[in-house]
Amino acid sequence: MALFQISEPGQTPAPHERRYAVGIDLGTTNSLVACVRSGVAETLPDGQGRHLLPSVVRYRAKDVPVVGHDAIAVAHEDPLNTIASVKRLMGRGIEDVRKLGQSLPYEFSHGDSAMPRIRTVAGDQSPVAVSAEILKALKTRATQSLGMELSDAVITVPAYFDDAQRQATKDAARLAGLNVLRLLSEPTAAAVAYGLDKNPRGIYAIYDLGGGTFDISLLRLNRGVFEVMATAGDSALGGDDMDHAIAEWIMREAGIRDNADHRQMRRLLRDARATKEMLTGAERATLRIQRDNDGIWEGVLTRAHLNTLIDPLIDRTLPPCKRVLRDAGIRVNEVDGVVLVGGATRMPRVREQVSRFFGREPLADIDPDKVVAIGAALQADILIGNKRDEEMLLLDVIPLSLGLEIMGGMVEKIIPRNTTIPAAKAQDFTTFKDGQTALLIHVVQGERELVSDCRSLARFELRGIPPMVAGAARIRVSFQIDADGLLGVSAKELTTGVESSVVVKPSYGLTDNEIEHMLRDSITHAREDEEARQLRERQVDAERLIEAVQRALAADGALLDAKERAEIDRHLDGLIAAREAKDAARIKQAIKALDSATQTFAARRMDANIRRALTGHKLEEFSTSGDKPTP
Ligand code: ADP
Ligand code: MG
């Protein structure tokens, strides 16, 4: 099936019809925009030839915000209004932001929404609004570079971004006047940039060391589809930490006190970063550091010495690499290719260590800080319809399973993790109680069996179900995930057609570490979960039987003599006690016992009911076939 055909297949666009769409890497540290022109994907520079746009926005009192290099240049003068690394806040709630801790220098205002806002001289800004400023700057750059208005874009997001974070990214694009053709995961974009999707199949490791985050993803390519087999990383590890290590070395060498003030620290970090980047191409770098009142310190840092400073940091990327291999259940020699992404992977030492770990040379022909944007541009070019022959476009998968809460606080997974998107799936449910006229639909995301271990995405109600006996209503719940991984859920009672739906727009997301934990927990807790599931199932069965027996006793208790009644009551109490004791095996036994204790009672009730139904009717009114009786 052609999932994304933009226009009739088989027709080649006339040259003047060629359209442009951009690919955008909206990064934590740097952002880029790229486009396919004359068949070549390339990143677009600003007026001064710079391709990377620092993801930094400075708000001003009575003026439009400044984005990028110009914002960084004055960051030290106006730290509270200069916002960096806003990607870490996307789709996060107040609570999540609190957990990120004091590492963020801004002041937050809460208002009444669950979304945190940053106080600036230009008013309170949401992370979505800040990201939109970065996107606007990239859009302007593209418009100037290509000499035409353009608004269609593919934007990349980390593979582990959940629904809330993806939604926030899409909202930012809309605010910036961009039409999102689709969101694409960053490792997938990197793989596409290298044309790996043209291979019939393979397993690829994408090693992404950026300014402040490290991500490792294992992708499995199969028939044009990339599946994220596993992701891991460290959301507080990157080139910035190397800058700190170098700055500390400078302070030691130059005899600068530990309590250097903010301004001096920023200057030191800037110098450290420049030195680090220089040592990627050079063997040694000379430093001239202005000491506050002690004149100038001059020193030399060699690459060999730099390596000893950063080795401990590079070492920290290796356990997550081991973990993705373990989670995916593959050995390192089964990896068919390694792709380097992120500015910090330009460093020779990083390449060396990655090669050593994977036992092969990584792919690094494309600038590692441009590779994601280039992959996004290639994808955008296909989506806009410039490549008619590419019928089936590369698909993504959902990172965590989506499901519903069912009786007993359990999760019924509707769409399992790693299902390719877009996807749609429906499942039928029924009511639990007699006469139930409403149903609470609780949508959750996660790998565990119990609702309490998963993340709640949305709740909505289906009302107006006609009263029926338990189990008679048929409620079809449908999940649809669009190409961006965003979810819509609807519920319909099939006999009456009453319907209700929700678009899942959660107000906050999970932290990367939480997602990773959820994935890992699902593996380590599989057995425990299975036991919990069994218990819940038994408890639900018990509940159902207890209710049914109590109802029957209330209606037809007269059919029993005192001894029979006492026997049933005894087993009923036994089951209630077993349910309370939360012992799956005991509940099972008690259910069996109550079931057999009520056999005679059930038979007697059936007889009584038939007799009641027949009273006053002639026998010929009842036809076994259900057709009209023959006269
Ligand atoms: P992000 O994905 O977090 O937005 P990038 O991929 O742009 O970040 O990586 C930014 C990091 O890469 C910074 O720490 C920067 O110093 C580092 N970097 C960029 N170029 C070089 C280089 N030539 N040598 C070493 N590090 C570099
Ligand atoms: Mg990046």
Question: Which CATH number characterizes residue 380's domain?
Answer: 3.30.420.40
Same domain, 369 and 446: no
Are 239 and 210 in contact, with CB atoms under 8 Å apart? yes
Whether residues 91 and 152 share a domain: the answer is yes
- Asked about 453 being catalytic, the answer comes back as no
Residue 25 annotated to the active site: yes
Are 487 and 504 in contact by the 8 Å Cβ rule? The answer is yes
Torsion of CA 513, 165, 483, 26, to 10 degrees: -100
Q: What is the pLDDT of residue 392?
A: 41
What tokens appear for 434 in the block?
């007699």
Question: How far is Cα 51 from Cα 35, in angstroms, rounded to an integer?
Answer: 12
Closest CA to 400 of 186, 180, 231: 231
Are residues 203 and 85 part of one domain? yes
The tens digit of pLDDT for each residue in 37-79 reads 888 999 999 999 999 999 999 999 888 899 999 998 887 788 8
Residue whose structure tokens are 């208790």: 557
Assigned domain for 622 exists? no
98: in domain: yes
pLDDT given for residue 13 in this prediction: 42
Whether 136 is catalytic is no
Average pLDDT for 389-402: 60
Q: Is 54 in the pocket of ligand 1 (CB under 6 A)?
A: no
Instruction: Pick the range with the lowest mean pLDDT from 228-242, 372-386, 463-477, 553-567.
Output: 463-477
Provide φ and ψ at 541, rounded to 5°: -60, -45
Same domain, 333 and 287: no
Q: What is the CATH number of the domain that holds 475?
A: 2.60.34.10
CATH of the domain at 259: 3.90.640.10
pTM exceeding 0.95: no
Between CA 23 and CA 81 the distance in angstroms is: 28
Query: Which ligand is nearest the CA of 210, by number?
Result: 1
pLDDT of residue 433: 81
**One domain, residues 487 and 440:** yes
Nearest CA to ligand 1 atom 11: 211
Do 301 and 281 fall into the same domain?
Answer: yes
Those residues with Cβ within 8 angstroms of residue 528's Cβ, 6 or more apart along the chain or in another chain: none
8 Å CB contact between 268 and 260: yes
Q: How confident is the model at residue 519 (pLDDT cuts 50, 70, 90)?
A: low
My answer on whether 452 and 481 are in the same domain is yes
Classify residue 11 by its DSSP letter.
P
Residue 455 lies in a domain: yes
**Domains identified in the chain, total number:** 4
Q: Can you tell me the distance from the alpha carbon of 385 to that of 21, in angstroms, rounded to the nearest whole number? A: 10
Which pLDDT score is estimated for 517?
59
Domain boundary among 394, 414, 449: 394
Q: Which ligand is nearest to the CA of 236?
A: 1
515 in any annotated domain: no
Residue 183 near residue 170, CB atoms below 8 Å: yes
Residues 6+ apart with CB under 8 A from 15: none
336 and 409 both lie in a single domain: no
pLDDT at 402: 87
Are 325 and 230 part of one and the same domain?
A: yes
Under 8 Å between Cβ of 489 and 479: yes
Q: Is 27 touching ligand 1 by the criterion CB < 6 Å?
A: yes
Residue 561 domain boundaries: 526-600
Answer with the residue of higher pLDDT: 396 or 534: 534
Task: Locate the ligand 1 atom nearest the alpha carbon of residue 281 and give its number.
Answer: 23
pLDDT at 184 over 70: yes
- Please indicate, yes or no, if residue 612 is contained in any of the structural domains: no
Whether residue 222 sits in one domain with residue 118: yes
Residues near ion ligand 2 (CB < 5 Å) are 27, 210
Q: Read off the pLDDT band of 574 (50, 70, 90).
A: very high
488 pLDDT above the threshold of 50: yes
The reply to whether 163 falls in a domain is yes
> How confident is the model at residue 599, as a pLDDT?
84
Residues 29 and 67 in one domain: yes
Q: What is the mean pLDDT of residues 421-439?
A: 82
Is there a catalytic annotation at residue 561? no
> What is the three-class DSSP state of 363?
strand
Q: H/E element holding 324?
A: helix 318-328
pLDDT in tens, 331-347: 999 999 999 999 999 99
Q: Which of 296, 315, 334 is the last residue of a domain?
A: 315
Q: Do 441 and 488 have their domain in common?
A: yes
Ligand closest to the CA atom of residue 373: 2
Q: Residue 565 belongs to a domain with what CATH number?
A: 1.20.1270.10
Which of 315, 349, 373 is a domain's end point? 315
Task: Answer yes or no: is 59 within a domain.
Answer: yes
pLDDT digits (tens, 9 = 90+) for 138-162: 999 999 998 888 889 999 999 888 7
Q: Closest ligand 1 atom to the C-alpha of 342? A: 6
The pLDDT assigned to 101 comes to 59
